[in-house]
Amino acid sequence: MNPILLLDSFTVSVETDHGLNVLADAVDLEVARGETLVIVGESGSGKSVTMLSVARLLEHTAPMVLSGRALVDGTDIVTASRRDMNRIRARKIGVIFQEAMEALNPTRRIGDQLEEAYRAAQRGAVQRGRAMRIAAREKAIALLDEVGMTDPAGILLRYPHQLSGGMQQRVMIAMALMGDPDLLIADEPTTALDVTVQAEILRLLRRLQIEHGMACVLITHDMGIAAEIADRIAVFYAGQVVEVGDAAQMLGKPQHPYTKALLECVPRAGERLAGRMRTIPGSVPPPATSFVGDRFAPRNALATPIEREQTPPVTVSPDGRHMVRSWNPIAQWTPELIERLTGAPTPNGAGPATRPSSGPSLVLKNVSKTYAQSARGQAVGSGQGNTVRAVNNVSFEVRPGELLGIVGETGSGKSTLGRLMLDLERPDPGSRIELDGVAYEARKGRAAELALRQRVQAIFQDPQASIDPRQTIGDAIAEPMRELTSLSRREIDARVRWLLDAVGLPAASANKHAMQLSGGQRQRVAIARAIAPKPSLIVADEPTSALDVSVQGQIVNLLIDLQRELGLSYVFITHNLSLVTSIADRVAVMYRGDLVELADAEQIVRSPGHEYTARLLASNPDPFRERSFAATNPH
């Protein structure tokens, strides 16, 4: 059977003032009808560039140069005209983008956007005018029903902002299917979603791919997601495919050190860390890098001299199903090899830090928060009447030196609770929040306000949005010290240098701006800024959700190290229960504004006391457990 997608030495480059930068280098891949190939790798590895170039979408934003062959159902897109590509995209290729809200037109109703996709696929057909609109509406309603939307006809009349994130992603999937494509490309389709919604979307994609007989390529940086859905897995690094094979072998017996490192960086629910999370040292080299030897060798503690000096060979199994690009494929991984590769911690430890023995530092008593109902909330049917209760009568304490995890889906109230603890919002009457025995509302005057700001600091989800793009990094870190402390300018400059070193950034970073740093580096700046005024409590709201699993480990290890050194307390807000149960002392579970469970992390994993907690645990992707809904490879 001929593959729907065949890449043969497919190379993607971009023209720059200094010549061509190669983004994807001689990629060889194929995907059969009815098969799901998952492409994994860190940001910058070339996985999205390769597949979006298959759809020729990047040429509209940058001067791209393609070479080699990329056959979609026998048609080579490298040599296809733009007119031919419009037809291929409309009828042969469906694309699901990472951010549904950004991909959907905010000024047009859902029905109009689905109809437009249908018209593009039917260009040249006999249908015209009213008949075309009726056919498009019927297909849109059928597909919205197929992707699990209630009241599909009503959804057609809504705008994107009136839908939840999960609903927006389902609309994107329906739009991708309007042309009955042979190839479905899903680029990080679940990154911004809660774990339960993520699991639903993955199940939906798998079911639709099988029922429609499509070839599917799903792009992700998370091996846990790959484990849930893949027939085969391809691992990209620095623009190359370093290993590809059947999912069972890639998950159970990977041979390339990079593949194994990606697997080991995925946190596992129930494994308590005695020290640090697994990480991959360093970062993916930029496209302009001149490579010598194995591209992964500079980050590979197992690399031998030949791997640092000579380009590795490609080894293909006799049946052609498995390929590895390495001088030193490893057939058997021992704990010692894993520890050398990723700094693997010893499981079942006692927790990341020694705890002070004094009483609680932050206490919440009967805390509630009510908002006026939003248009989006009314559209998705949440709340009562004209108000919505985001937090409902929540009480708990944060102990000195403790890492308290707060988990729950979007809309559970966890981020609202964080803003209340930061005094960025005020709770409803009758609520009480105390810091060291003094109620927030009892504070009087600017001095008391500044004292609270100095004691309780925040790390937000998106450092790009929370750091002023006009400031240098040095100024951004110095700002809270100028506002909240009495340090002199010389003392502030010295502490900025210390903070950059403490979070693992070079001193030269002080003169850069946020846009010049990677996502992981920006999050390190956000951490340095948070600890700059010497707080006792940090509220971290989804501080790793947008990061690769390897960078996630680096950031979490940094937080744990700073906790030990500075005696910090953390409130760590996340939807990733596997991560938080690995690092937290206690875990609070929020559901629709209620605190439904609060217990030691080990107890949460061993014996969850609420069915919602059990559902969150079951929804977390885990490459080491039995696969839940990936079908048997039909090939």
The continuous run of DSSP H or E covering 118 comes out as helix 110-121
CATH number at residue 576: 3.40.50.300
pLDDT of residue 347: 45
pLDDT of 499 above 60:
yes
440 lies in some domain:
yes
329 lies in some domain:
no
Residues in Cβ contact with 17 at an 8 Å cutoff, skipping those fewer than 6 apart: none
Nearest CA to 403 out of 572, 152, 212, 577 is that of 572
Please, are residues 530 and 538 in contact by the beta-carbon 8 Å criterion? yes
Enter the tokens of residue 87.
């037809």
pLDDT of 626 above 80:
no
How far is 310 from 291, CA to CA, in rounded Å? 10
120 lies in some domain:
no
Q: What percent of the chain has pLDDT over 70?
A: 91
55 lies in some domain:
no
pLDDT tens digits along 310-361: 999 999 999 889 999 999 999 999 999 999 998 855 444 434 445 554 555 8
Instruction: Indicate the average pLDDT of the chain.
Output: 87
Enter the tokens of residue 146.
């197929």
343 lies in some domain:
no
The residue with tokens 């010389």 is 490
Mean pLDDT of 506-533: 91
* DSSP assigned state of 569: E
Q: How confident is the model at residue 444 (pLDDT cuts 50, 70, 90)?
A: confident
pLDDT tens digits along 238-269: 999 999 999 999 999 999 999 999 998 888 76
Please, are residues 484 and 534 in contact by the beta-carbon 8 Å criterion? no
Q: Which domain holds residue 480?
A: 362-619
DSSP string, 443-492: --HHHHHHHHHHHEEEE-S-HHHHS-TTSBHHHHHHHHHHHH----HHHH
Please, is 4 exposed, middle or buried when counting C-beta atoms within 10 Å of its C-beta (0-12, 13-18, 19+)? buried
φ, ψ at 478 (rounded to 5°): -75, -25
The continuous run of DSSP H or E covering 196 comes out as helix 195-212
How far is 153 from 504, CA to CA, in rounded Å? 53
588 lies in some domain:
yes
159 lies in some domain:
no
φ, ψ at 9 (rounded to 5°): 50, 40
Enter the tokens of residue 495.
């502490």
Mean pLDDT of 379-392: 70
Please, are residues 301 and 294 in contact by the beta-carbon 8 Å criterion? no
- Look at the alpha carbons of 485, 488, 494, 500 in this order and tell me if their dihedral is positive or negative: positive
93 lies in some domain:
no
Count of structural domains within the chain: 1
